[in-house]
Every structure is written in structure tokens, then in C-alpha cells.
Amino acid sequence: MIEEVTRKRLALFTGRANPELAVEMAEHLGIELGRVEVRTFASGEIYSRYLESVRGSDAFVLQSMGPPLNDNLVEHLIMIDALRRASAKRVTAVLPYYPYARQDKKALSREPISTRLMANLYEAAGVDRVISVDLHTGQIQGFHSVPLDHLTALPLLSDFIAGQTQGSRASITIVSPDAGGVRMAEKFGRRLQAPIAFLHKRRNREVAHQVEHLDVVGEVQGRICVIVDDIVDTAGTVCSAAEMLVRRGAAGVRLAATHAVFSGDAIDRLKNAPFEQVVVTNTVPVPYDIRFPGLEVLSIAPIVATAIRNVFEDLSVSAMSDGLNDRF
């Protein structure tokens, strides 16, 4: 008779998109980052091979979906496939920023639902679980047939803002840049015990990133306005919102957002906008050479690392959010 006590082994690997975040997560977990070779052939094809045994391991593979997004996405899928073929016991995709998250429904006829395609691709590659931060919409969880642990950076951002504005004579108002973000603003408001306002906007469906109309709903005059959002892409909406708030008499304007995608002219827009401070996290890497005075990049590593540990030890992940990811 052969008797063996089952042992669990946590292994953390990363793609090439954001190695600094992975190193920090490994430090929080008290483990060494796993060794993996990833390279790109002259033809553009991506190759991956693990340089240590992963057989029977609980493997977590991190990839940040910054630019070039599609290359990083394919690299992640290939790394997951390699883990599955190397007999990892469980494979968890760690996606701090979920790719194609804004294409979660059809706004016009003959459009794709690309977010659902992403879910299909990850499950075809062989993931058993997904970990992500501040999904653009909660319905993305329903696109997966495997568990998706939805984390939030809201406590990290709100606690930082609270520390920065403590002692100010002006009261705080939390501002959503559009009606769709009101729920997120309400959660910020409850945590900071502050009222909310929102900006009503109408997008041009034919021209991407173009806003046709903007107006403020709520009290902002003489108050420190904190615009909160999940994604800053081209920064057009938040910069227009900041200018509108200043015109309406705001005492100061700050921005707090989870995912700093910063596409196109976003950096120049943010530099020239009337923001006293822009606070983001490193779910997407923010290169040092594009950072500017007033930009604060907070690390999401402790939150994601704690979630990884809880998944590995079969502990609750939802308890980490203290109900902040609940719908109501």
C-alpha cells in the first residue's frame, strides 16, 4: 500500500508586461517568482517554456494588459496553455485589468461582444479561475463558466484621497464622470462620508471618444471635487469634467481611477487639465518617463497578493472587499 499526504504548492509566474508588479506580489507572498522563458520570434510569434517543474502546482500567471494589448493577451494565453500541458493542478489567470472590458454589449447592430470572446479564449486555453480588479461592468463575471474573483482598488484609492484632503477647509464631493459610474461614486461617498454629483454626457455613437454634451448634477461650488472612474483611457471625458467643475466653482479637482490605460494624448491632456492631483494604480504599468508632477501611482500588489493567498488556502476572497463589490 502506498500512502501519501497531499501537499499544495503555490507558483507565481508573470508575462513580460509588468514584471515589477509581479516581483512586488511575490515579496508580499514570501515566495520566489517562478522561472519562465518568454520570447518573440522574428515572425512575431510568441514562445513560452517553464524552466521549472509545475506538475501538481497551484499556478497563478499574471499579465497586465497594457500596450501592446493584443501581444500581451496572446502571450498570456500561450503561457496558460503551457502550464496546462505541463500538468499544473490548477491554473489561475491574474488579470488586474480585464482586456476588452468595455465591449461587453452591443450598442449598434453587427457589433461584436468582445468581452465574451475574451472569456471564451481564456477558458479554451485552460484556466480554472480568473482574478481581476474593478471590472468595467459586473456582468463580465457571468461571461465565465469558471470562478472569477472580482477585487476592488476602492479602499486603496479612497484611503489615499482621505489622507491627502484631511485638514482641508473645503468639503469633499465625489463626482462620477457619467451616469453609469454613479454606483462607484456612491461607494466612494459612503467610505469618505461625502455627497456625490455626476456629469450628464451624451456620447457620439459614430465617433469614438467624442462627447457631445456635458452638464453637472449636484452641489460642487466651493467644494473639493474628486472625480472617480475605473478606466482612464484617452482622458477626454475626465478632463472635460474637470474643466466643467472649475467653471461651476469647485474649490479644487482631483482624479482617482484604477486603470491608467493612458492612450494617445492622455498624458498631455492630464497635464493641461485643472487637476490638483491624479491618483491611479499600477494594474496597467505606468512608465516612469511619462509620469508628471501631481501623478500618484499606488501599488495594487498587496490586494492581489492577498487574494492569491486566500485562493490558495481556500479562504474567502469576497470578504476582502468588505461588501464594496456588492451590487447594492
Task: Give dist(CA 65, CA 21) in Å, integer.
Answer: 12
The reported pLDDT for the residue numbered 165 is 86
The C-alpha cell of 244 is what? 466643467
Q: Are strands 211-217 and 196-203 parallel, antiparallel or unpaired?
A: antiparallel
Per-residue confidence (pLDDT) for residue 121, from 0 to 100 = 98
Active-site residues, by number, are 201
Q: pLDDT value at position 215?
A: 80
Profile the chain (328 residues) by mean pLDDT over runs of 10 residues. Answer: 75 97 98 98 98 97 95 98 98 98 94 97 98 95 97 96 83 90 92 92 60 76 96 94 94 97 97 97 96 97 98 92 60
Phi and psi at residue 96, to the nearest 5°: -55, -40
CATH for the stretch 10-153+302-321? 3.40.50.2020
Determine the pLDDT at residue 60.
98
Task: Check if 10-153+302-321 and 154-298 are the same fold.
Answer: yes
3-state helix/strand/coil string of the chain: CCCCCCCCCEEEEECCCCHHHHHHHHHHHCCCCCCEEEEECCCCCEEEEECCCCCCCEEEEECCCCCCHHHHHHHHHHHHHHHHHCCCCEEEEEECCCCCCCCCCCCCCCCCCHHHHHHHHHHHHCCCEEEEECCCCHHHHHHCCCCEEEECCHHHHHHHHHHHHCCCCCCEEEEECCHHHHHHHHHHHHHHCCCEEEEEEEECCCCCCCEEEEEEECCCCCCEEEEEEEEECCCHHHHHHHHHHHHCCCCEEEEEEEEECCCCCHHHHHHHCCCCEEEEEECCCCCHHHCCCCEEEECCHHHHHHHHHHHHCCCCCHHHHCCCCCCC
Domain covering 154-298, topology: Rossmann fold (3.40.50)
Listed by start position, the domains of the chain span 10-153+302-321, 154-298
- CA Rg value for the chain: 21
Enter the C-alpha cell of residue 204.
457620439
How far apart are the C-alpha atoms of 3 and 21, rounded to whole Å? 40
